[in-house]
Amino acid sequence: MSTQNVISRKTILDIKKMKENGEKIAMLTAYDFGMASLIDEADIDIILVGDSLGNVVLGYENTLPVTMADMLHHTKAVVRGAQKALIVADMPFMSYQVSPQDALANAGRFLQEAGAQAVKLEGGKEQSEAVYKITSSGIPVMAHLGLTPQSIHQMGGYKVQGKKEDAAQKIMSDAKILEDAGAFSLVLECVPEKLAQDITSAISIPTIGIGAGVHCDGQVLVVNDMLGMYEKMTPKFVKKYANLSADIKNAVKTYIAEVKKSSFPDDEHSFK
């Protein structure tokens, strides 16, 4: 029997085990084949095809206009680019809120048509029926609490959530409800560090923080933010690990200048 070099993709069991073993989980977003290939080769644990697509790729003001068609299209490209990471697709606004049946049908499309391994959706107790319906049909769900950008108009802006005692208690209680409903992990966005730490200790599924401090089981950032490719808005929690906006603009300026003075293409880049 021949032994082939089969690359195995991370599963939700690997992710849960990382919490048990105290190994931190690194997650980044990606929206296309090229970026997915690069971050997969760098050994990222989870790739989230986030609906932040709306902001950083499609140029919308917020995530609300993002559709199922947009998300499926980009998830397919990411799946083609990444062979090792667990791929989670974000369920867009109105694809799961109307009914648990709708939620299941739309979640199924991400696995069946796009090749994702899991879906993510925003919200607490009010979405727990949808989470239960999806997970009990065999589709892994990543939950998302704290600042939930699809509720931007209800929240009145991108603000830290759970600062007051009653709000913190609601987020803690929602986290437990979502775990009971079958979620395999939980994103905590823009909540005080201490609340994220308490939730991380109180539930057995991994927490993945964004603006939620260092005590979460893992971290996530929007890839365009951390690579310095999105200049419209930089939240406090974003660390820029590169400054690609400047690199891209400099490269393009050099190209334009070389074209204008006919120094590109030179002999090296021409056929004789």
- Please report whether residue 224 would count as binding ligand KIV according to CB under 6 A: no
Nearest residue to 230 (alpha-carbon basis) of 65, 53, 94:
53
Closest distance between ligand KIV and the C-beta of residue 251, in Å?
26
* Three-state secondary structure call for residue 52: coil
Tokens of 47: 């790739």
- Please report whether residue 229 would count as binding ligand KIV according to CB under 6 A: no
Please indicate whether residue 61 is annotated as part of the active site: no
Q: Indicate the residue among 38 and 264 with the shorter CB distance to ligand KIV.
A: 38
- Please report whether residue 225 would count as binding ligand KIV according to CB under 6 A: no
Computed on alpha carbons and rounded to an integer, the radius of gyration of the chain in Å comes to 20
Closest distance between ligand KIV and the C-beta of residue 222, in Å?
5
Nearest residue to 95 (alpha-carbon basis) of 58, 121, 125:
121
- Please report whether residue 72 would count as binding ligand KIV according to CB under 6 A: no
User: Judged by CB under 6 A, which of 40, 51, 70, 179 binds ligand KIV?
Assistant: 51
- Please report whether residue 119 would count as binding ligand KIV according to CB under 6 A: no
Angle at 87 between CA 59 and CA 33, to 5 degrees: 55
The CB density around residue 36, as the number of other CB atoms within 10 Å, is 28
Closest distance between ligand KIV and the C-beta of residue 144, in Å?
6
Q: Indicate the residue among 18 and 121 with the shorter CB distance to ligand KIV.
A: 121
Tokens of 58: 């499609």
Tokens of 153: 């108009």
Residues in contact with ligand KIV, total (CB under 6 A)? 11
Interaction with ligand KIV in 12-41: which residues (CB under 6 A)? 29
Contact 173, 151 (CB under 8 A): no
Evaluated on CA atoms 20, 52, 177, 161, the torsion sign reads positive
Distance between terminal CA atoms of the chain?
Answer: 50
Closest distance between ligand KIV and the C-beta of residue 209, in Å?
9
- Please report whether residue 52 would count as binding ligand KIV according to CB under 6 A: yes
Closest distance between ligand KIV and the C-beta of residue 169, in Å?
23
Q: Tell me which of 20, 113, 129, 189 is the catalytic residue.
A: 189
Interaction with ligand KIV in 194-223: which residues (CB under 6 A)? 210, 220, 222
User: Judged by CB under 6 A, which of 44, 187, 196, 199 binds ligand KIV?
Assistant: 187
How many residues are listed for the chain in this entry? 272
Helix or strand holding residue 146 (H, E): strand 141-146
Contact 76, 58 (CB under 8 A): no
Residue with tokens 């977003």: 29
Q: Indicate the residue among 6 and 186 with the shorter CB distance to ligand KIV.
A: 186
Closest distance between ligand KIV and the C-beta of residue 180, in Å?
22
Give the catalytic positions in this structure: 189
Q: Which residues are near ligand KIV by CB under 6 A?
A: 29, 48, 50-52, 90, 187, 189, 210, 220, 222
